Chains A and B, each alone.
Chain A
Amino acid sequence: MLGEGILKGLGETARNFVGSYVSAERLTTIQYPEERIAPIEATRDFPFLVYDGADWEAGLRCVACQICEKECPPKCIYIVKSTDKKPDALGKLQIYPVRFDIDISVCMSCQICVEVCPFEAIKMDTQFELSTTDRFGGLLYDRKELAKSNEYYHSIHPIEAKKVDAHLAEEKMKADAKAGAAAAAAAAKAAAAPVVAKPAVPATPAAAPAGATQRAEGEKQG
């Protein structure tokens, strides 16, 4: 009959009205500044730079390769390369960023910088309460403000951070193996140097690790 649906609808809203006073679980609102919900694992807001160890400047994983700067769609990253080299977390001499600025008023939180970074140096933060009274300087973050420890990274994205650590450990093992092999090869070469008649025999073990290193680097890039 005509009007039945209207009565049903009125009943439904009346049930909601009364129910919202009776049972609190009907209300889906989180009263934000007082109440909060924990962010989910995949939450992402703006990027930050990861560092290892205690000193943020020495432990910065970034090697100023500028891939993120080039890939950033809204061009919110600004990097100045250093002219000298510094040992990185693996102990290898690397270039480092003298300046690393992100303008988070421009950043669109797309995570592309994170995807392209070959050194696991830039990750997404979960901080979102970043409002400030200075809309130019206050939203332009330099490398000191961006640097956050690996422990912090573990605290906000535990699953992802564990994977990243495993990956970095593997890399380090390969690098160590490569360094070891290179050292062994050098030693062998040094040992073999006086024997001019047989150069081919020690060259074979040295060639194999070289190929392995190339593969490892390929994986890293991929």
Chain B
Amino acid sequence: MIEKADQIFVLLGHWLVSFLPVWLQPAAMVLLGVLAIIVTFPALFAITVLLERKGLGRMQNRYGPNRVGPFGIFQPVADGIKSLTKEDIVPTSADGVVHFLAPVFLVVVVFMGYAVLPMGRNMTLVSMDAGLLFFFAIGASTELSVFMAGWSSRNKYSLLGAMRAVAQMISYEVPLLLSSLTIVMMTGSLSLGKIVEAQNQYTWGLPHWYIFTPWGFAGFLLYAVATTAESNRSPFDLPEGESELVAGYFTEYSGFKFALFFLGEYVGMMSISGLGTTLFLGGWSAPLQILGWVPSWCWFFGKVMMSMCVFIWMRGTLPRLRQDQLMNFAWKFVLPLTLVNLMVAATWRFLGAGWERWVICSAILILVYTLMGRSGMRRGHIGPRSYRYAE
């Protein structure tokens, strides 16, 4: 019974496919998986947008949307209808083809990332040996779509937004990769399935998730910073900073194309949260051994939605950075820390089992973090804003 609940989607797929001739079955199974992904994540996107609007409202002591349906739960439906029925405006001087392709490309690329994510036991669309590599390769091409949008719009705000986005995404791509590299060092595999399997073990009923090690914890925080910047979320939302750039690279988009950008952004956030979950939070494994009976996909989606809530919480809290602060933070703080973290992970590996490695690795990380934070704040690279003229 428990087994059945865990494998319900896999069994359902097999049952549906069994009506087809044998030679068609593998292709149909893949198509079914793609369809499931394309249906599930936009639905989660709608839920996330509602959560975000309600949550941000509550953080600012407002109600948030509460008019459409009971407690405003049908707000995403109303938003969807609105964006579908709006006029689609393409500027006369825009490059029509590229302008059209940019949002489509973004959405396609963002959905491709899900192909390798293990969303539950046996629930990976393509279990690739180099899954992590594939994910990062696909993830990096969202920059192209952003730049296509900014360039083809022929608008100064769009172009500035796109330039900012590309600069920011390329800068934070490096710490993103380096912080995930520790996991590869430990697991010895680029396969996301194997990474989850390695974490799906328990000692005294507690899981072997990588976040519960000093290097894993540091790596997770660095990964979280880098993903926030990668997905252009507050406080790193400079590419679409409303106050200075209207809407950044999608200023010239309206109607359904705008909705596609919006969808791409959130689905991208979810996919990168899914990767973070897989790498550091044990993927689909249960947080306690006694909770092993809960279906594995529940844990995966629960963890992804939890990370989305953290994204929303951060957006409700932090003001936007300035471009130089953003770059300083990436190159002078996050990048050196990820390099140190790589060293710490190596130290952890070669110290072998025992309590010594816990003390040594934690001490190194805390020391480096404190020292770098202090010197960075003293020299003004990071830390609170200072204004030369408007004090």
Interface of B with A (CB < 8 Å)? 55, 58-63, 313-314, 316-318, 369-370, 372-374, 376-377, 382-384
Please, how many residues of chain A have a CB less than 8 angstroms from a CB on the other chain? 20
- Stretch of A16-24, A157-165, A205-213 contacting B (4+ beta carbons < 8 Å): A16-24
The 20 listed contacts between A and B (C-beta, < 8 Å) are A1-B374, A2-B370, A2-B372, A2-B377, A2-B383, A3-B373, A5-B384, A6-B318, A9-B318, A10-B317, A13-B313, A14-B313, A16-B61, A17-B55, A17-B59, A17-B316, A20-B59, A21-B58, A27-B63, A29-B62
- Bound-state CA distance A19–B61 (Å) is 8
- Considering only CB atoms, which chain B residue lies closest to A15 in the complex? B59
- Bound-state CA distance A19–B60 (Å) is 10
User: With contacts A16-B58, A17-B58 known, is A2 near B313, CB below 8 A?
Assistant: no
**Cβ contact within 8 Å between B376 and A2:** yes
Contact with B along A89-132 (1 / 0, CB 8 A): 00000000000000000000000000000000000000000000
**Shortest Cβ gap from B229 to chain A (Å):** 15
Residues in B neighbouring A6, C-beta threshold 8 A: 317-318
Other-chain residue from A5, A13, A26, A27 in contact with B316 (beta carbon distance below 8 A): A13
Residues in B neighbouring A12, C-beta threshold 8 A: 317
**Shortest Cβ gap from A16 to chain B (Å):** 5
**Cβ contact within 8 Å between A16 and B373:** no
Residue A83, interface by CB 8 Å: no
Other-chain residue from B58, B314, B373, B374 in contact with A10 (beta carbon distance below 8 A): B314
Contact with B along A190-205 (1 / 0, CB 8 A): 0000000000000000
Residue A155, interface by CB 8 Å: no
Residue A221, interface by CB 8 Å: no
User: With contacts A3-B373, A20-B58 known, is A9 near B384, CB below 8 A?
Assistant: no
Residues in A neighbouring B370, C-beta threshold 8 A: 1-2
- Bound-state CA distance A1–B375 (Å) is 11
**Cβ contact within 8 Å between B377 and A13:** no
Q: Which of B55, B316, B370 has most A Cβ within 10 Å?
A: B316
**Cβ contact within 8 Å between A9 and B58:** no
Residues in B neighbouring A13, C-beta threshold 8 A: 59, 313, 316-317
Number of A-B contacts (CB under 8 A): 50
**Shortest Cβ gap from A17 to chain B (Å):** 5
- Bound-state CA distance A14–B373 (Å) is 25
Interface of A with B (CB < 8 Å)? 1-3, 5-6, 9-10, 12-14, 16-17, 19-21, 26-29, 31
Residues in A neighbouring B372, C-beta threshold 8 A: 2
**Cβ contact within 8 Å between A28 and B61:** yes
- Bound-state CA distance A28–B372 (Å) is 42
Residues in B neighbouring A9, C-beta threshold 8 A: 317-318
- Bound-state CA distance A13–B314 (Å) is 9
Residues in B neighbouring A19, C-beta threshold 8 A: 61
**Cβ contact within 8 Å between A2 and B369:** yes
**Shortest Cβ gap from B318 to chain A (Å):** 7
- Bound-state CA distance A202–B373 (Å) is 99
- Considering only CB atoms, which chain B residue lies closest to A6 in the complex? B318
Residues in A neighbouring B62, C-beta threshold 8 A: 20, 27-29
- Bound-state CA distance A28–B373 (Å) is 39
Q: Which of A12, A17, A21, A28 has most B Cβ within 10 Å?
A: A17
- Bound-state CA distance A21–B316 (Å) is 17
- Bound-state CA distance A5–B370 (Å) is 14
- Bound-state CA distance A21–B58 (Å) is 8
**Cβ contact within 8 Å between A16 and B59:** yes
- Considering only CB atoms, which chain B residue lies closest to A28 in the complex? B61
- Bound-state CA distance A3–B370 (Å) is 10
- Bound-state CA distance A12–B313 (Å) is 11
**Shortest Cβ gap from B257 to chain A (Å):** 32
Residues in A neighbouring B318, C-beta threshold 8 A: 6, 9
- Bound-state CA distance A21–B318 (Å) is 22
- Considering only CB atoms, which chain A residue lies closest to B366 in the complex? A1
- Considering only CB atoms, which chain B residue lies closest to A5 in the complex? B384
Q: Which of A3, A13, A21, A26 has most B Cβ within 10 Å?
A: A13
**Shortest Cβ gap from A222 to chain B (Å):** 45
Residues in A neighbouring B59, C-beta threshold 8 A: 13, 16-17, 20
Other-chain residue from B55, B61, B314, B317 in contact with A26 (beta carbon distance below 8 A): B61
Other-chain residue from A10, A14, A20, A31 in contact with B61 (beta carbon distance below 8 A): A20
Residues in B neighbouring A28, C-beta threshold 8 A: 61-62
Q: Which of A5, A12, A29, A31 has most B Cβ within 10 Å?
A: A29
- Bound-state CA distance A17–B63 (Å) is 10
- Bound-state CA distance A33–B376 (Å) is 52
**Cβ contact within 8 Å between A2 and B373:** yes
- Bound-state CA distance A48–B55 (Å) is 44
- Bound-state CA distance A3–B376 (Å) is 12
**Cβ contact within 8 Å between B382 and A10:** no
**Cβ contact within 8 Å between A2 and B374:** yes
Residues in B neighbouring A31, C-beta threshold 8 A: 63
- Bound-state CA distance A28–B62 (Å) is 7
